[in-house]
Amino acid sequence: MKRRDFLVQGAAGVSALTAAGSLSQSARADDDAAAAGKHSFKLRYAPHFGMFDDLAGRDPIDQLKFAAEQGFTAWEDNGMRGRPKELQEKIARTMSDLGMLMGVFVAHGSFGETTFAGRNKDARERVLQEIRDSVEVAKRVNAKWMTVVPDAYDRRTEWGYQTANCVELLRRAAEILEPHGLVMVLEPLNWWRDHPGLFLHKIPQAYEICRAVDSPACKILFDIYHQQIQEGNLIPNIDMAWDEIGYFQCGDNPGRNEPGTGEINYRNVFRHIHSKGFEGIMGMEHGLSVGGEDGERKLIEAYVSADDF
């Protein structure tokens, strides 16, 4: 996302003085935004509920309003499916009024089961029902993307068979989503620190699966934190998988906190993603390195700094 959309309208005979005046007005608008504490981010960074408990209070609507005041233009909520319908609708109305874009919620994730990689008919039907239910949630909250984790791998079955099973189930899920213009984003999760034993854990693997599913409703969720741990080589892997990436999430490593607290050069990574014309969402799926109001201010400033390219 560009820092500001300049709409240049003109016709023959428009003087240089007029153009200079337009630039002057834009500069004053930037100054006004800075004075109000609102930042103009180049990417759509998406906080989640709980990130601004101290500065905004625990009310979810107040947190949305606070985030918008800081310049954040997106939001995500893994637990949206489990929230009361009335709250979902209130969140959607508030975000619409604030001009914020809804990011992912979790449509499926059952880490202990072998659902996608296996052939258990009942387990696979449960997945498809969760996808159907998620369509209604997505419509209610104006969401386009939903996270799908393909669960555990089968220690007694060759990877090729498991991959074929996964592709087949994802194709059936895509058939449900395609008519609604919705997208499930598959999230590879690292084995070495957080989620040993899950089937989907690498970006090249996710790329292969998305290519095989061959649907606009099935893309990759590239979580930069997880992939720094699992395989590194972030920017080259982003480039190699670009056509199948639908969504990003971030968090520094080690610690899984805000950019600048670990080893990842987020300014360079964000610059690269922006340079490729990415207009989607960068989910802030991480914690805070410092608690309280100071930690929440530090979080905001971390994104201001990482976005300064």
178 is catalytic: no
Rounded Cα–Cα distance for residues 194 and 180 (Å):
33
Query: One of 76, 130, 258, 285 is an active-site residue; which one?
Result: 285
Taking the CA atoms of residue 91, residue 92, residue 93 and residue 94 in that order, the dihedral angle to the nearest 10 degrees is: 50
3-state secondary structure of 186: strand
Active site residue 187: yes
Check 187, 244, 258, 296 and give the catalytic one. Answer: 187
Query: Taking a C-beta distance cutoff of 8 angstroms, is the pair 268, 308 a contact?
Result: no
* Residue 196: φ, ψ to 5°: -65, 140
What token pair was written down for 45? 């960074």
* Burial of 85: CB neighbours in 10 Å, binned 0-12, 13-18, 19+: exposed
Do the beta carbons of residue 64 and residue 100 sit within 8 Å?
A: yes
Which amino acid, one-letter code, is at 58?
R
Q: Measure Cα distances from 69 to 20, 72, 282 in Å.
A: 29, 7, 18
3-state secondary structure of 144: coil
Helix axes 292-306, 266-275, angle to 10 degrees: 50
Residues acting as catalytic residues: 187, 285
